[in-house]
Amino acid sequence: MSEQVLVDTAERIRTISFNRPDKKNALTRAMYSAAAEAIEDGDRDPAVRVIILTGEGGIFTAGNDIVDFMEQPPAMDGNEVSPVQHFMQALLNAKKPVIAAVDGLAIGIGVTLLMHCDLVYCSDRSSFKTPFVDLALAPEYGSSQTMPRAFGHVVAAELLLLGATWSAERAAQTGLVGAVTTPDALMETVRNAARILAAKAPDALAKAKALMRRAPGPLTDRIALEGRQFAAQLRSPEFAEAAAAFMERRAPDFDKLG
């Protein structure tokens, strides 16, 4: 892994940290590749249950390193997979829960990627900005769909058209982040959430995430799909352990299921 992307795995939680604070954690091709590999490896590893994305030095990320980006801009034509595409595909394809811990600046793709995380927490000194139109660029990686769907068109336009900077308070108000903490409390808040997720039935958790991430369709189709998966889980070793733990008044132990 690149020294500018730190990877730590403990308590079934993989923490991936952008580590270039002298450059506001601006992301280079090497950093994208390292982070993508860390996500994919964690998603394959049965010892990892949850993935955390964060940044070192009181900064999440200032987005793309412009010099590095301009040296080899991603083609986005489907003929090759650039490092940034590799990273976003790894995030999009992750079956395990991904939590973002935002402290300080989150700019450009640093905001876009949050829409593809499952939980987002930030410190009260965080700020969020997507200056795509300001740079004569278009929105990226589904943000023109995910943000209007999440916030409503006129609120999403504050970010995508006006290029407004959102405070932590505004981010929580709109639903971009789930909770705001002090900087000192951020990582422990995030790790507590990760520990709760890591203790849950991993297959059931993956199925619930996949259902939530599934493209909208007729409600009757979704109910039918949920019903099939619910019935399958009733026959699973995970449910047998959860039911036994409930009857025995103990915490379930899904690790023993392998």
CATH of the domain at 94: 3.90.226.10
Q: What is the pLDDT of residue 69?
A: 73
Do 134 and 210 reside in the same domain of the chain?
no
Provide the whole-model pTM. 0.94
193 and 218 co-located in one domain: no
Identify the pLDDT of residue 76: 63
Low-confidence stretches of the chain (pLDDT < 70) are 1-2, 74-79, 258
Judge if 148 and 213 occupy the same domain: no
Q: Degrees (nearest 5) of the Cα angle 117, 122, 128?
A: 80
Quick check: 105 and 61 in contact, CB under 8 A? yes
Number of domains composing the chain: 2
Question: Are residues 43 and 162 both part of a single domain?
Answer: yes
- 239/172 same-domain check: no
Where does a domain end: 198, 223, 249? Answer: 198
State whether 115 and 28 are in the same domain.
yes
Same-domain pairing of 156 and 231: no
Look at residue 129 in the predicted model and tell me its pLDDT: 97
What residue numbers bound the domain in which 170 lies? 5-198
On whether the CB atoms of residues 120 and 177 are closer than 8 A, the answer is yes
Give the whole-angstrom CA distance, residue 12 versus residue 93: 19
Residue 206 and residue 142 share a domain: no
Cα–Cα distance measured from residue 39 to residue 58, given in angstroms and rounded to the nearest whole number? 22
**Which CATH number characterizes residue 216's domain?**
1.10.12.10
Nearest one of 17, 44, 45 to 31, comparing CA atoms: 17
- Going through 21-114 in order, the beta strands assigned E by DSSP cover 50-55, 98-102, 105-107
- Tell me: do 49 and 119 sit in the same domain: yes
Tell me phi and psi for residue 68, to 5 degrees.
Answer: -60, -40
What would the pLDDT profile of 58-93 be if each residue is shown by its tens digit? 999 999 988 877 777 766 666 678 899 999 999 999
Q: For 120-170, what is the HEC assignment?
A: EEEECCCEEECCCHHHCCCCCCCHHHHHHHHHCHHHHHHHHCCCCCEEHHH
Q: Which of 173, 198, 223 lies at the terminal end of a domain, its last residue?
A: 198
